[in-house]
Structure 1
């Protein structure tokens, strides 16, 4: 499908042979595109470009899980910031509208937009303007900012604190145990996505959705997951060290409501990090909402560094 508007041509790429064209606009995800196409996490028809002649002015792409018929996230959207065109934001809007109409079913809510940006993007300058141009284009299609998240990384050369001995750790017994704990965790949660889920579904339904959409898709064994307990066996919290399609990650980290405020989060995070570190990994990634200060502080104390932020936008 090709859409022409005045001198602008908007269309999906033809396949792997056009990855060089699509990658002319820089972004860290460019290096993952070939593998994503091969694995079925991306499809050429989900990857659109806006061209004026042979020049790439904007691009947009969605990501999905292998085998899914519809995409799960909009995670690439770029406008050529070197362009002197005063209408560059308008070009982005036109591409978003044309591509969304072709990719997203008419009766469906568009997938959430997720974009990694430099941690200092709010300080202005060229970096800030680029991020703001993208967000403005998205807003003009009906999106709104939902949350900003910290993207964090731990490296093997970073020392870990020695266990304090206050907690014991054991593997998760079964899916029902982890779902039960995830349900209890939602009481008083500071996570924006979880809080939004709770406006539309029960805590158990929200926990099951999170499990099915994220934890169930990890590529690593559930034997890595740990329940933290007091010496008498009472659960305090849990952590799910894992591998996703790209990196070793701390997938989920939480303390039960009745045990918050005792500093247990540091010990649980350190244990999860220790389990992944034992796998001889080059790095460990994690994320938390900018507004979740207790969690962000815990990552900082264990030695995780904020290497980027993630802008999340949604369509109501």
Structure 2
């Protein structure tokens, strides 16, 4: 078990299939991945398992474990041994990657919407989860991944709201602080157990929103006709896809259907850039937000499994 030597071993690493394989070369060049965070388990020259971690460029430690695979073919690792084999690879790599006492990064995995019922995919996903549970991880949340495709109608403005650019960082951070009241987002609720709403909003603004290379002029504040803000949407490009990065309605204005107007505006902003798709995500349990995306023509194309260490 060892890390790859560099981009010259990507052909070896990508012998096992996964949707992220096509992004690895670019991620290594961009500094989102490092060879020393990209591990393989070999028997002679046969790839039996692999694991890789992702970060934002410049991060000292990885942010996510987002690739974990075991060869589950006929001549691969026997089914009963796969969880322990994967766990041993992750345990070995983490001992080399992380400083002692550091909590392991969150695990994230993209899976088909029907992964539980699929006789091939289901056992493979469960084997990975079992491996990480043996290392102390637990399921944190399952998320819907959604996609808007060109040609899908965008609802026309109803005239109830006005949209304008964000005045400054303080305005947006203040709104982000307010919308955390009553949030259904699992990550947001978890953050509120460890920090104030203001601290969580500042952290998300600094660590995520400011890192998008797309123009801040795309961001929109939704207001009532008298100018009172009631929500916002952050259309962006995350380096992989155009995305609805953040959308929210202030607590006092929820339940009135404003989210549909706000999402339509964010979709219009990105669609005007002639994009091939728009991606979005929300927790499986956030039913109101999921329904809003579906009403706007976004389709469920994938799920995302998140596991964390406490």
TM over 0.5: yes
Q: TM-score, normalised by structure 2?
A: 0.98
Q: Which residue of 1 aligns with 2:257?
A: 263
Q: 2:208 aligns with which of 214, 233, 236?
A: 214
* Residue matched to 2:309: 315
CA distance in 1, matches of 2:46, 2:260: 50
- Distance between the aligned counterparts of 1:84 and 1:28, measured in 2? 21
Q: Could you tell me which residue of structure 1 aligns to residue 94 of structure 2? A: 100
For structure 1, the residue ranges without an aligned partner over 5 or more in a row are 1-9
Q: Which residue, out of 30, 40, 43, partners 2:34?
A: 43
Query: TM-score, structure 1 length as denominator?
Result: 0.96
| CA deviation vs aligned residue, 1:150-175 (integer Å, no higher than 9, x gap) | 00110111111111110000000000
Match of 2:294 in 1: 300
Across the aligned residues of Structure 1 and Structure 2, the Cα RMSD in angstroms comes to: 0.8
1:174 to 168, 177, 190: 168
Give the Cα–Cα distance (whole angstroms) in 1 for the partners of residues 71 and 32 of structure 2: 25
* CA distance in 1: counterparts of 2:77 and 2:37, whole angstroms: 28
Residue 145 of structure 2 is matched in structure 1 by 151
- 1:97, 1:180 → 2: CA distance? 41
Of the structure 1 ranges 67-76 and 192-201, higher mean CA displacement relative to structure 2 is found in 67-76
Find the residue that maps to 2:101 and give its secondary structure: coil
Per the TM alignment, residue 124 of structure 1 is displaced from its structure 2 partner at its CA by 4.2
1:79-228 alignment runs, 5 A limit: 79-82=70-73, 83=76, 85=78, 86-228=80-222
Shift of 1:44: 0.3
Question: Match of 1:275, SS?
Answer: helix
Is the CA contact 2:164–2:222 (under 8 Å) kept in the aligned structure 1?
yes
How many residues align? The count is 307
Instruction: Mark the runs of 5 or more structure 2 residues left unpaired by the alignment.
Output: none
Shift of residue 53, structure 1, vs aligned partner: 1.4
Match of 1:250 among 244, 247, 251: 244
Q: Is residue 51 of structure 2 the alignment partner of residue 60 of structure 1?
A: yes
Q: How many angstroms does 1:69 deviate by? A: 2.1
Moved over 2 A (4+): none
Q: 1:16 aligns with which of 7, 22, 26?
A: 7
State the SS of the aligned residue for 1:77: strand
Mapped partners of 2:59, 2:190: distance in 1: 24
Contact 2:48–2:77 (Cα < 8 Å) also in 1 = no
1:122 is paired with a residue of what secondary structure?
coil
Who is 1:5 aligned against? none
Q: Deviations over 1:50-93 (max 9, x none)?
A: 11111111100001111222111111111112125131221101
Partner of 1:177, secondary structure, is: helix
Question: How much does 1:107 deviate?
Answer: 2.1
- Deviations 1:209-263 (CA, angstroms, capped at 9, x unpaired): 1112211111101110000000000111000000111110000000000000000
Return the alpha-carbon distance in structure 2 between the equivalents of residues 296 and 264 of structure 1.
14
Query: 1:23-38 residue pairs with structure 2 within 5 A?
Result: 23-38=14-29
**Secondary structure in structure 1 of the residue aligned to 2:120:** helix
User: Cα 1:312–1:281, aligned 2, differ >3 Å: closer, same or farther?
Assistant: same
Q: 1:223 and 1:110 mapped to 2: Cα distance?
A: 36
SS at match of 1:42: coil
